[in-house]
Structure 1
Amino acid sequence: MVKELIIDSTPDKGVTIALLQDKQLVELNKEKADNSFAVGDIYLGRIKKIMPGLNAAFVDVGYEKDAFLHYLDLGPQVQSLLKLTRIVKNGSYQERLLNSLKLEKDIDKAGKISDILARNVLLPVQIAKEPISTKGPRLSSDLSIAGRFVVLVPFSSTVSISKRIKGNAERTRLKKIVESIKPANFGVIIRTVSEGKGVEELQKDLLDLISKWELFSKRLKTAEPTHKVLGEMDRASTILRDILTDEFTHIHVNDLALYDEVKSYVQEISPDLEKIVKQYKHKEPIFDHFGVERQIKASFGKTVNLQGGAYLVIEHTEALHVVDVNSGNRIASKENQEENALLVNKEAAKEIARQLRLRDMGGIVVIDFIDMHKPTNRKELYSYLKECMANDRAKHTILPPSKFGLVQITRQRVRPEMSVVTSEKCPACGGSGEIRSSIVLLDDIENNLSFILQEQNEKGITLTVHPYIGAYITSGLFSKRIKWFFKYGKWIKIKTVSSYYLTQFRFFNSKEEEIKL
């Protein structure tokens, strides 16, 4: 499997990251320029309200709505965290690690939050789920700092290993290495990518995480309530940290500053892969060049077409997502109806697994597959769906098909669902279904062009338009562009952008700066 990462950075839209597998888009991540309240960020929260009925608290972390902290998310060592916060704030604890800190007893799993927290208490909390819809962030005070190979867990002494590492000898080897290098009062989770790694790599990663904890301790002393104390890495680095393997062949970045950051980070975590990081320098938008924009437009929306004529209908509600599988115009004889249903369902299962990752759909997902009468076929479909979702990094559970042919999936939701509008009110016609004629549009373009060339005396003009309009301007022996050349004595470059709506156009100067009109 060939993997590529395409990173598009723009000042107005932030950073958009597309993960391709064998040229097919499987994940799309967006990071806004103001990346507050991202999963993994640690804030100094102030308890605003205790809710005994919910056994939870609402915490002020600077978001417009108070964040939610449940008792079960406090972590067993929350008393030790509260103790550390108090003595660090008082200035009576000078160490950066936890060597001399006496840990408190674990809290009762069935206890009450009112016995642990009170109003206005300061507590470091970590974003477990980003703000979604009308809800504020979901918090945890069971802090952890993730690295490439290991995760550092303060106020613990346990070393745990990813279940995906199967070999007993390898599990024992990794556990011995980590136990010999971890500091006191810190636990460690060994991640899947640690398999086969040596002492030097694991120790370097662990030392990086320890330095982050020391930075957290330093900042905690002077941190103001509701302010961020320690931030998670940007989305590009986080994705690289979690998924970068030898299967990656290219990482393309269109922004120079971000390219330098990504290249430096890849060099740090996996020097052998540094050469695959490339800066994209073409004038065509990076997503258009690699065919990502086309896949985005085809993959989002209510209806998703499959090969062979079948299609999916995806509906979203507040409580759950519903996917309906339709055979469409796919035709089969009566004798092969069962076989045809299995083929369509398996094709749909593969696309649904991709859609869940692509849209980052979380919560409850109900899939209405085409009815199949043979138990063996239902079992085969269930196994195939689990196989298709094996590479999904989000925690998920798949239930076998019910007697009505419905498959239920629960999938971890930590961020707002990726929503790309593919059908919207037309900005050109305002929803009327009618737009200005192409002649009037070209009059507008030419009037602006005349002003730019004759009044502003600009040179090296590039006109960007929708591909249909671009073809109209450039086609023919005596095309519109040729006529402009004879009229103004200057050659106009025409650049087409597929993401433009039909009547949209922009002018750029020789420095590739947009000319505002």
Structure 2
Amino acid sequence: MSSDLIIDVTPSEIVIALQEKKKLAELSRERSGAKFAVGDIYLGKVKKTMPSLNAAFIDVGYSKDAFLHYLDMGPQFATLNKFLRIASSRKNRISSISRIHSEPDINKEGKVNELLKVGQKILVQVAKEPINTKGPRLTSEISIAGRNLVLMPFSDKISVSQKIRSTEEKNRLKKLIQSIKPRKYGVIIRTVAEGKKVAELDKELRRLVEKWETSFQKLRRAQAPSLIIGEIDRTTALLRDIYHPDFNSIIVNDQSVASEIADYIGSIQADKKKIVKHYKGRQPIFEHYGIDKQIKASFGKTVSFKDGAYLIVEHTEAFHVIDVNSGNRARAGNDQEKNALEVNLAACDEIARQLRLRDMGGIIVIDFIDMHVAANRQKVNDHMKAIMADDRTKHNILPLSKFCLMQITRQRVRMEEKVETAESCPTCKGSGNVVPTVLFADEIDGKVNYALKELNKKKLNLKVHPYTAAYLTKGWKSPQNKWFFKNLKWVNVEAVNSYSYLEYHFFDENEEEIIL
């Protein structure tokens, strides 16, 4: 499947859009300075134990205490705790965990009070990012992910991805890893490792072990709470998980980020380094490649997908509800059952895309159009499973009920992606009070002069709707020329198709918005 990655880099965030067959499939945001990403490893402090929940609240530096359940502490928790005591001691020096004698596995039916005390230091990893009012969800089963392998300190198990079908290949990979892995380390072999040679896997395994062992020095000096091992940035993490040889292009509007990505791609597949391109156009990158338009069409309560059929998507605190509607297709034919089947099959494709695009997690309930034939319900169920096979997030699909309701559970590790597609009325700006349009030019003129004189901005970039841009820039006596002769500073006027008719925004030389 041909894929393209479009990356919009701004001072405040990086927005990553994945296109498959020129259609938007995933949208991800990484805010500058964001912390507590999935995979980050922290030295935390036990703030409170909750025997009724068999869990503890851990201080990792977030505004709300993070949550650690007893079952997420892992069988090797006693050994991990012993390692932490030794590594934190300034007297003891540890170079490899292979020298640490393993403790017995903890009791699966045990209680949190038996292992944790208030004020105790503990090594934890973020399993879920903070969502809404909840703090991060933690685990003490430490893992360090690479592209082909996942390293599990203190575990001797070797597991192979279930998506590798060949028994012969599974056995080859198991024997290969068994021969090269150090003692006291477990390894999960990922799907992309299929067919890889020993040299490549050995190189990655050594790098992951080195990444873990560099934490020994940090632990000796660290004070809880503090970050011990940070996950790579989300852009590179996304590439690590989704990159495949069929990628057509990776387009970035920032030279330094483009160079970093090119180096990473080069380390995976040297001949593919050239697919990374630096976008230098004046038009915003998402507008130039049609991403903005797809975002407007794909998010929101109503989503059209085929021949007048559409979805209604509702989000609640507990779960997500998707209603499938045939729309104009109801009049297209006389066979209601056949029409319902066609719409439901097409809806499966769009629903699978929406789950990835919005990163919807938890419980999803889908109300398909009623079908009375059991074989047709089975077809829809089979098609949904097939189309969601490419979804990297763990999920479980239950069969359709006789009322044509389907339940899907999908792992939730971060906030669902939300994009507000509804626009305020450009005339009243949502207030219901109409401002005379004749004053619009005076309003912009006043704000331009204020920004240049009072705020002393050296460079001003004004983004407006194309119609407004034409009014401000065309002709010798245009407002743009008047601003220049009055202030002796040039105001760049940029047309943005996605803006509403009278919408405008000011930006400085660093592309940070100026609120006036």
In which range does the TM-score fall when normalised by the shorter chain? over 0.9
Aligned to 1:65: 64
Give 1:45's aligned residue: 44
1:400 aligns with 2:399: yes
Q: Secondary structure at the match of 2:86?
A: helix
Distance 1:127 1:445, change over 3 A: same
Q: Give how far 1:113 is off.
A: 1.5
Residues 480 and 48 of structure 1: CA distance in aligned 2, closer, same or farther (over 3 Å): same
Task: Give, in whole Å, the separation in 1 of the partners of 2:156 and 2:426.
Answer: 59
Determine helix, strand or coil for the equivalent of 1:118.
Answer: coil
How far apart are residue 272 of structure 1 and its match? 2.3
SS in 1 for 2:14: strand
Task: Indicate if the aligned counterparts of 1:9 and 1:16 stay in contact, CA closer than 8 A.
Answer: yes
Amino acid at match of 1:502: Y
Distance in 2 between the 1:386 and 1:26 partners? 17
Change (3 A) 1:376 1:276: same
* Aligned positions of 1:142-291 closer than 5 A: 142-291=141-290
Secondary structure of residue in 1 paired with 2:396: strand
Query: Where does residue 3 of structure 2 map in the other structure?
Result: 3
- Distance, in Å, in 1 between the alignment partners of 2:476 and 2:460 is 12
What residue number does 2:107 align with? 108
**Does the residue aligned with 2:84 lie in a helix, a strand or coil?**
helix
What stretches of structure 1 move > 4 A for 4+ residues in a row? 424-428, 446-463, 471-474, 479-494, 506-517
Correspondence list, 1:61-140, <5 A? 61-140=60-139
Deviations along 1:335-368, whole A, 9 cap, x unmatched? 3111111111111111110010011100000000
Once the 2 structures are TM-superposed, how far is the Cα of residue 494 of structure 1 from its aligned partner? 4.7
Contact 1:96 1:213 survives alignment (8 Å) = no
Name the SS of the counterpart of 2:228 in structure 1: strand
Please, which moves more after superposition, 482-491 or 50-59?
482-491
Provide, for residues 460-480 of structure 1, a one-character-per-residue CA deviation record: whole Å limited to 9, x for no partner.
Answer: 986531134235557xxxx66
Partner amino acid for 1:2? S
The residue aligned with 1:307 is: 306
Using the alignment, how far apart are the partners of 1:318 and 1:506 within structure 2?
33
Which whole-Å CA distance do the structure 1 matches of 2:450 and 2:122 have between them?
Answer: 61
Matched residue count: 512
- 1:415 maps onto 2:414 in alignment: yes
Look up the SS of the partner of 1:283 in the other structure: coil
Is 1:21 the equivalent of 2:23? no
Query: 1:33, 1:106 → 2: CA distance?
Result: 40
Q: Measure the CA separation in 2 of the matches of 1:79 and 1:451.
A: 64
For structure 1, the residue ranges without an aligned partner over 5 or more in a row are none
What is the CA distance between 1:488 and its match in structure 2?
8.3
8 Å CA contact 1:97–1:213 kept in 2: the answer is no
Moved more, 36-45 or 487-496: 487-496
> TM-score scaled by structure 2?
0.92
TM-score by structure 1 length? 0.92
Cα deviation, residue 444, structure 1: 3.4
Cα shift readout 1:294-319 (whole Å, capped 9, x = no counterpart): 11111111111122111111111111
Compared CA separation, residues 483 and 216, structure 1 to 2 (3 A):
closer
Q: Which runs of 5+ in 2 are unaligned?
A: none
Q: Using the TM superposition, give the Cα deviation of residue 514 of structure 1 relative to its aligned residue in structure 2, in angstroms.
A: 8.3
Matches within 5 A, 1:485-496: 494-496=493-495
Pair 175,431 (structure 1): closer, same or farther in 2 beyond 3 Å? same
| Amino acid in the other structure paired with 2:329 | R
Displacement of 1:121 in angstroms is 1.2
> Does 1:359 find its partner at 2:347?
no
Q: State how far apart, in whole Å, the 2-side matches of 1:225 and 1:454 are.
A: 48
Give the secondary structure class of the aligned counterpart of 2:335. Answer: helix
Q: 1:289, CA displacement in angstroms? A: 0.8
Distance 2:61 2:476 in 1: 55
CA displacement at 1:136 relative to structure 2 = 0.8
> Could you tell me how far apart the structure 2 residues matched to 1:117 and 1:348 are?
49
For 2:165 and 2:293, how far apart are their aligned partners in 1? 40
> Is the CA contact 1:467–1:497 (under 8 Å) kept in the aligned structure 2?
yes
- The 8 Å contact of residues 47 and 59 in structure 1, kept in 2 or not, is answered as yes
Amino acid across the alignment from 2:222: A
Seen in structure 2, the aligned counterparts of structure 1 residues 161 and 502 have a Cα distance that, compared at 3 Å, is same
Secondary structure of residue in 1 paired with 2:350: helix
> Structure 2 CA distance, aligned partners of 1:186 and 1:455?
62
Aligned-pair CA distance for 1:498? 2.8
**TM-superposed deviation, 1:111:** 1.5
Deviates more, 1:461-470 or 1:232-241: 461-470
Could you tell me how far apart the structure 2 residues matched to 1:427 and 1:45 are?
Answer: 49
Determine the C-alpha separation between the residues in 2 that align with 1:64 and 1:516.
27
CA spacing shift, 1:410–1:337, aligned 2, 3 Å? same
How many Å separate the matches in 2 of 1:330 and 1:196?
47
Q: How far apart are the structure 2 equivalents of 1:36 and 1:449?
A: 36
Cα distance in structure 2, aligned partners of 1:84 and 1:256: 42
